[in-house]
Amino acid sequence: MLVNGKWTADWQPVQGVDAKGGFVRQTSSFRNWVTPDGSAGPTGEAGFAAEAGRYHLYVALICPWASRTLIGRTLKGLEEVISVSIVEPELSAEGWRFAQPDPINGATYMHEIYTKADPEVSGRATVPVLWDKKLGTIVNNESADILRMLNSGFGALASNQYDLYPETFRAEIDALNDYIYPRLNNGVYRAGFATTQQAYDEAYADVFEALDTLEDKLEGKSFLFGEALTETDIRAFVTLVRFDAAYHGLFKTNLKRIADYPNLQAYMLRVLDVPGVRATVDIDHIKRGYYSIKTLNPNGIVPRGPAIPGLYEPAAK
């Protein structure tokens, strides 16, 4: 991680644990918002007006949090408005790494983007990051914020085909997001990175409680709130699409696969078939990335499988 702007030791997935030995995720540190007129958003400072070509998105295809924003960029038709860089899937000793020097800032590692924004920054250099090319700084590194601002912060520059946070469902969206995040989105990480049996058992139970709840909620529905795709569907999908390939085995959340849940499996494929979403999913990146985490997989062996119906068929070797 970064300590006062200096890279310290090799990258480790767990930077903090609670009293039970449970995984504690770092709080995002840059919380400004892009808005149509440059006024301040819900957090942070003003000065980040929507402009074509001004902003750049840094993502990793293995990362569910980053993939939320990549899907949002696509669904809102912002591909020509916001440029994008994709880091390598494998985690290096210095964290996320670019295959070639980053064309925006000339960086080799993601942590260099953070120190360019704040030379004294401390913490992990995570993705996604929304970068302001005009001011030379990070706008925001919280995926939930970025997804919301992609939905409404770019005004007429964005497509109105999808409203990912419709006013009629906002209270329900917020409530279901708050339920899904600790139990499922972060629950798989709490299980995979647990340092005690108790912490693992609690996370494992939460993951499958959430999956069972979503399986029931999707009965007779196309999406979680009926026929309209919302940000909650994106937040659920990015975990579901990685589950059988990585979390089920490597993270030890192995009671069931998504393929064993009829409604969830059909729902995952339904979201995958929304135009533009499939292009944001790379199962080979996902497997290479997660199985490069040495604390979970010291020998770095990437499994050939699994076959994931409708999504991924491993090549025979």
- Report pLDDT for 25: 47
Instruction: State whether residue 286 is helix, strand or coil.
Output: helix
Please name the residues in contact with 255: beta carbons below 8 A apart, sequence gap of 6 or more: 204, 208
> How far apart are alpha carbons 154 and 272 in whole angstroms?
24
The whole-model pTM stands at 0.93
Instruction: State whether residue 139 is helix, strand or coil.
Output: strand
How confident is the prediction along the chain (317 residues), in pLDDT tens digits per residue? Answer: 888 899 987 656 665 666 676 655 455 589 999 999 999 999 999 999 999 999 999 999 999 999 999 999 999 999 999 999 999 999 898 999 999 999 999 999 999 999 999 999 988 899 999 999 999 999 999 999 999 999 999 999 999 999 999 999 999 999 999 999 999 999 999 999 999 999 999 999 999 999 999 999 999 999 999 999 999 999 999 999 999 999 999 999 999 999 999 999 999 999 999 999 999 999 999 999 999 999 999 999 999 999 999 999 997 76
Candidates 58, 189, 204, 261; catalytic one: 189
Catalytic status, residue 179: no
> How far apart are alpha carbons 112 and 195 in whole angstroms?
30
Candidates 63, 109, 247, 261; catalytic one: 63
Backbone angles phi, psi at 242, to 5 degrees: -100, -10
Catalytic status, residue 58: no
> How far apart are alpha carbons 120 and 30 in whole angstroms?
13
Q: Name all domains of the chain by residue range, CATH numbers in brackets.
A: 2-157 (3.40.30.10), 167-290 (1.20.1050.10)
